[in-house]
Amino acid sequence: MDLLKELTNIFGPSGREGEIREFIKTKIAGSAEFRVDPMGNLIVHKKGSGKKLMFIAHMDEIGFMITEIDQRGFLRFTPLGKPILRFLPGKMVKFANGTHGVIGVESEDGNKELDLSGLFIDVGGDHKEVTSKVKIGDVAVFATPFRRQDNYVIGKALDDRIGCYLLITLIKENP
């Protein structure tokens, strides 16, 4: 479980997978040959004499790229990936620099259908304070801590990183 926890805690939104890719490379070094293509994909080849198989996993996670900082200090964003909008309000997010925020919604009508224009990230502070912490183009990811609960695990990016976990384990445990 330690490996899965490490994988889920790494910052790696779409287009910014460098840290997760480097982590995976360190875990499989000496167990397989690998290269990175021009798109940033990590291609791993494990030699063997049996039938050839291909396994694929993606390492990126949903992110939120900042597109505007309004006068109140609220961060407007565009999603990287396809989050379900109705689940976003109240979710904690974290930027690569360690700044934390919470996704808020401006709608006064709780029954109104959510759209991106009514959502924002609040990192606390006025426009000047916020612009010293976060810039347009910065990306946040969910800040859900990894934990075990009975026979379950909870955390961010599990839909992505469980595949990475399984492939790392397969590579390392099969000579």
Residue 81, phi-psi category: left (phi > 0), alpha (psi -120 to 50), beta (remainder): left
Neighbours of 63 (CB within 10 A): 25
Q: Which CATH number fits domain 63-142: 3.40.50.720, 3.90.580.10, 3.30.450.20, 2.40.30.40?
A: 2.40.30.40
* One-letter identity of residue 144: T
Helix (H) or strand (E) holding 18: helix 18-28
β 63-69/100-105 pair status: unpaired
Q: Could you give the CA distance from residue 105 to residue 109 in angstroms, rounded to a whole number?
A: 10
Return the domain boundaries, the chain.
2-59+157-173, 63-142
Report pLDDT digits (tens) over 97-140. Answer: 999 999 999 876 666 778 888 999 999 998 999 999 999 999 99
List pLDDT tens digits, range 24-39.
999 999 999 999 999 9
